[in-house]
Structure 1
């Protein structure tokens, strides 16, 4: 904030409404997840590259990049998709620290205000919304599994 907002004047420091006001809070929320997703993707790709079906694809004449893109990526992305469900719910509900620092009214601030004002009904509503988002995103992850891995099927 001090460098890009105050010293250089490139980005606004706080508020909510324009794209420029969303850049710094988005970076603050996404950076820790980005590092973890990159590490998870790397480890998963390294595991997939040593599998027998990847060696078979290379033996049939595919180069490393093509074999990975055609055969390995769908399997390698499964652990990342598993992590993205709860992560998306967390990011969408927001972080009360980021909301406080950048002066954004979000669900995190609703939690804080409900606790400070001892409002059990508002707190319960916020918990229900967060829980519904968590269930929804985990459902989306389960449905995505069926498209990524043909061994997994949905049953009614």
Structure 2
């Protein structure tokens, strides 16, 4: 790809304009020099200028968009964990009953239906037909504007967490220490809450790290459908506009968040399960 395409798409610029651009962005420097200069900028938290939004830096764009994705992501993550764990525990306690089959049926449905199908269906039902909730917009993060995108974003994760919790809880309930607790006559509620739930949540905890990052950063479809000014929509606009500095910066941000939350999960894993402490 020619250099002018990087900044101007298909337009051809006069040579003097291209010379000014190359001087401004140090495009005539050796590749390794450009690379280390970019790393130096990253170390100082400077993601550079946006090629599309001339009056804004990438830092400005990310700073204005990330809080939207973070607020929606935290809400969707909380909903996914609470409903997913609760549904999984109920299905495990009612194994091979209608409750188990119902929960797993809903969970399988949630896994196989993609978000780009769920989101328009929710808009059609609750916004267009019933007029209960707004079908789009952000309005400062008001609750009524968050409900539909939050449900659409968390549905697949609710289903996955429910399936993981059910399988893990069934395995724990058949463990020897649970049989011992039952033989001692402990109430089932106490057995579940104090003895079974903690080890059953370990596989769920391993899933939470990448799930949380996926919820916050993987909402491109949801944010586009509901018109939310988050980093998902920012990434899509950056890709369509060939704003390479913006796309690269968001990719680095996602990678950093993935490393961070996986590290947090490892620490929590050691807190919950002392057996893996070094």
Question: If the TM-score is normalised by the length of the shorter chain, which range does it land in?
Answer: over 0.9
Unaligned runs of 5+ in 2: 1-122
Q: Could you give the per-residue CA deviations for residues 94-148 of structure 1, whole angstroms, max 9, x where no partner exists?
A: 4111111100111111221221111221111001111111111111111111221
Q: Could you give the per-residue CA deviations for residues 3-40 of structure 1, whole angstroms, max 9, x where no partner exists?
A: 21122211111111211110000000001110111111
Tell me the secondary structure at the aligned position of residue 274 of structure 2.
Answer: coil
Q: Find out whether 1:83 has 2:207 as its counterpart.
A: yes
What CA distance in whole angstroms lies between the structure 1 residues aligned with 2:179 and 2:128? 54
Equivalences for 1:102-117 in 2 at 5 Å? 102-117=226-241
User: What's the RMSD between the two structures over aligned residues?
Assistant: 1.3
Equivalences for 1:95-106 in 2 at 5 Å? 95-106=219-230
Q: Find out whether 1:35 has 2:35 as its counterpart.
A: no
Which structure exhibits the higher relative contact order, with contacts defined as CA atoms closer than 8 Å and separated by 6 or more residues? Answer: 2
Structure 1 window deviating more from structure 2 (122-131 vs 90-99): it is 90-99
What CA distance in whole angstroms lies between the structure 2 residues aligned with 1:72 and 1:56? 12
Higher-Rg member (1/2) = 2
2:143 maps to what in 1?
A: 19
1:3 maps to what in 2?
A: 125
Misfit runs of 4+, over 6 Å: none
Q: Is the 8 A contact 1:111 1:126 kept in 2?
A: yes
What CA distance in whole angstroms lies between the structure 1 residues aligned with 2:204 and 2:245? 35
What CA distance in whole angstroms lies between the structure 2 residues aligned with 1:96 and 1:47? 36
What CA distance in whole angstroms lies between the structure 2 residues aligned with 1:126 and 1:115? 11
What CA distance in whole angstroms lies between the structure 2 residues aligned with 1:148 and 1:58? 23
Structure 1 window deviating more from structure 2 (61-70 vs 37-46): it is 61-70
TM-score w.r.t. length of structure 2: 0.53
Measure how far apart 1:48 and its partner are. Answer: 0.4
